[in-house]
Structure formats: structure tokens, C-alpha cells
Structure 1
Amino acid sequence: MSEIAARSCVPCQHQVLVGHFCSRKWREKLNRHERQCHALSVPKLKKPFIKNQMAMNSATYSSRMTTDIPLYESPGASFDGYLEDKPRVFKAIFPDKGRSQQLNEEEWRIQMLPINFLFLTVWPVVEMRLRCKSGGRDYPPGVPEEITKVLELDVIRWKLQGLDDIFQPSQFSLGVKGALYPDRRGVRTRLKGQLEMNISFVLPPVLAMIPENVRKPVAEKVLRGLVENMKRKVNSSLLADYSKFKQEKPKNRV
């Protein structure tokens, strides 16, 4: 009786006949029995079902434009020299002095015109950098190395104004990159440029309820309008100012 009682107190993985321990069959049985007991003693962990709400409610919209128009240069007043005067070029593209402020030699802060998106109105404030590059070094993608001078435009910082907390996105990213350059590789010189704008943000709950097939065309139309407005300024204001630049050059040489 004492032997039976002793055996009943042994843990379940050891309740086998001792005389059969040398048997391979019983060793396998023992191992299997141990795994079963261990599985019963340790509660099963449920696989976590992670639902990334932020990823589900994120949205990205983009728009891109190119410009390719004739450029008439004058001896002694090349477009390369004009691009070197970055404050002048900036003023030609953004003529409203009340909405811009020069921060340093290469950077400006701009209070952009209000953007209407669905039932929201937002006033973006961006800090833009203009840099001249030459010799094919570190040119933006798509600009041939043979180009003598490139003006690179890049938005480096931004913030949104005019949104209540309930409409403020938890994450927001604005990317604006552009390039402007004279292309003299053909028979006639051409003014070429490219501008790409990307917006990514996590939708606030109010906007997340609006279907994507409603949001997307509206957002793309807004971006397309901004990019096309920039293109018009390059094609008109910038060329008009370059014409003045050419007229001023002979006076400067006197």
C-alpha cells in the first residue's frame, strides 16, 4: 500500500513502470506523455490579432507636372546667371511679399493660399529652399548631366494652420521637389522644369468616415491645382522677369 501511495504522488510525467525505462518504446511514450502534461500545465497563448488602425487610416496623394517651353537668351545675360540670383527668382515665382519671408541665403517661409479640401480649409505654412547646382553634381532625378545649371526647389519644413484639434491629422507629411534649368542640347534652347508634390497623412476620425473613392479625386484635384498654378508662374512671371533681367544687363555694363 505504501508503494502504491508513493506512486500516486509522483507527477504525471513519471507515472510509468520503472522497469520499462530502458525500453525505447517506453522512452518515446514517456516523452510524449511529458509533452502532454506540459501542454496542460501551461495555458495556451492566443496569437495576437494586431489591427494597425493608423495604417488603415493613412492616405497619400500626389501630383506631378513638367514644363518645356522656348527660352531666348541674350549674350551676356544667360539664364544660368539669372538662376544664380535666387532671391530674384523666388520673388518672380512668389511675388506676394506679404506672404513670404526670407530666412537666409537659400530659405524662405511662405504662407500659402488657403486650401479647400471637402468641408475643411487649411492654411499651410512651408519653408522652401532654393539651391543652384552645376557640373552634373548631385542633380535631381531626371536632369541630364550635360545641363550647365539647375535650380533645385525643395520644401524642407511645414505646418498646418486653421484646423481645429478634431480635424488635425496625427501625422502629416508634405513633399515638394522641383527643378528648373535651360536645355541647350537641341537647335533651340528650351526652358525645362519638373515639380512633384506629395501629401501623406493619417486621417482624423471625421475624414476617415468618408469613402476613399470620394476623398481621392477631391484631393488630387486640389494638388493638381497647386502644381498647375506653379507652372503658370514659371511660364509667365519667371520668363517676364528674365526679360527684364536681359534688358538690365547692358545698363549694368555701362
Structure 2
Amino acid sequence: MKLYLAAAETVAIAVEAETIPINHYLRQPQRLVHAIADSSLMECLGGDRYRLKMHPLNLLDIYHFQPTVVLRVWADGKGNVYLNSESCEIRGIDYINDRFSLRVRGILSPIIRDGMTYLEGQANVEVSVELPPLLLFTPLSLLETTGKGLMRGVLSRIKQRLLSHLIADYHHWARGEEIPSDAALGVNYGLLIDP
């Protein structure tokens, strides 16, 4: 039996104006990735591709696993940032890894409305997984509720990092200030690989 899940998260953030508009900042999508991703769980693959690991998850206290996704993140000339998943892997449970698909799509755009700049965007996550035998007798409604809760939690953490880290990084960048320490911003700008 297959389980299909989908979740979406929208964001609208008012951005205090700097002398350099935020759309110039967003033309460097690697900064966005570094601002929203936990540095210990990210690896830059080169170009516009990144491997992102989620924090390890557990499903009904039975299965413990770590989803990993390769994302392509790019920007257009207007500062719109797009992301699209290219591949995925579930580390920790080979049975599920062989029967799992994950699709992530998103866009973040600078919008000017009534003289104010906003970052508006949406991220969509879709999951398809063939259930392992141990879960076949678990009520489908419980699996769907649990799965959607995990997905919404991941999207919510990304949104919170956008609200805090991305905007702070933009202001430091626009003012030509030193990049804050990891402790202050939660970001590392070097090559980020989780061993």
C-alpha cells in the first residue's frame, strides 16, 4: 500500500529598505541556502546544487530515519529565487529508501506594494512511500496525520529561519558589515559538510 502526502507553506515578510534593494541580494541564491539551512546538515555540491539533510526523524517511535534531498536553487534577474528537488534518499531504512519519492518546489520573490518591499513565497512538498509491512496494520488516518505533521514541521522550521536569519543576513550584507558569527546568526559560509 502506498501513502501519498502533500504540504505547503506560504510566507510574506515585510523587509526594511536598505540602500541596496533586496532583489540584488537574492540574485545570490547561495546566501539564501546558507541562511535557511542548518550548516551542519548541508553540503554545497557546486554550481546551484546543494545536498540538504533534515534532522533525523522518527515515525511512531518505530522507524528512525534521515531524509536527504539534492536541491537546485537559482535566481533570475529580478531577484526571484526558485528551488526544485533533483533527488532524494532516506538514510536509515533501506526498505523505505527503495520505495520513497520526495518532491520539493519553491519560489521566493521580492514584491513592492504601497512603497513597501515584501518577500513572498511558497514551498510545496510531496511524498510518496510504499508502507513497510510493520505499518500495514496501522490506521491510514494515523499515518497521514503523523506524516503531514512531520512535513509541516520541516516547512515551518524553514519559514522561521527565513524570518530571522535571511533578513538579518540581508541587512548585514547591504550595510557591508561583517558577517555575524554562527552563534549570532546560526549560519556558516564555508563549505558545509555533515560527516
Match among 91, 96, 101 for residue 43 of structure 2: 101
The answer to which structure, 1 or 2, has the higher relative contact order (CA under 8 A, 6+ apart) is 2
CA contact (8 A) 1:170 1:201 kept: no
Q: What is the TM-score when the length of structure 1 is the normalising length?
A: 0.65
- The equivalent of 1:60 in structure 2 is 4
2:91 maps to 1:161: yes
- The equivalent of 1:200 in structure 2 is 128
CA contact (8 A) 1:107 1:127 kept: yes
Q: CA deviation at 1:169?
A: 5.7
Say if 1:203 and 1:164 are closer, same or farther in 2 by CA, change over 3 A: same
2:53 maps to 1:111: yes
Q: Distance in 2 between matches of 1:164 and 1:85?
A: 36
- Structure 1 gaps of 5+ residues are 1-56, 135-147, 250-254
Q: Distance in 2 between matches of 1:112 and 1:178?
A: 17
CA contact (8 A) 2:89 2:97 kept: no
CA contact (8 A) 2:27 2:80 kept: no
CA contact (8 A) 1:152 1:179 kept: yes
CA contact (8 A) 1:62 1:197 kept: yes
- Structure 2 gaps of 5+ residues are 178-195
- The equivalent of 1:234 in structure 2 is 162
AA aligned to 2:74 is R
Count residues in correspondence. Answer: 176
- The equivalent of 2:82 in structure 1 is 152
For the aligned residue pairs, the C-alpha RMSD in angstroms reads 1.6
CA contact (8 A) 1:182 1:189 kept: yes
- The equivalent of 2:192 in structure 1 is none
Moved over 6 A (4+): none
**SS at the partner of 2:80?**
strand
Q: What is the TM-score when the length of structure 2 is the normalising length?
A: 0.84
CA contact (8 A) 2:83 2:106 kept: yes
- The equivalent of 2:69 in structure 1 is 126
- The equivalent of 1:92 in structure 2 is 35
CA contact (8 A) 1:169 1:204 kept: no
Match among 41, 49, 70 for residue 14 of structure 2: 70
Instruction: Write 1 or 2 for the structure with the bigger share of strand.
Output: 2
Instruction: Write 1 or 2 for the structure with the bigger share of helix.
Output: 1
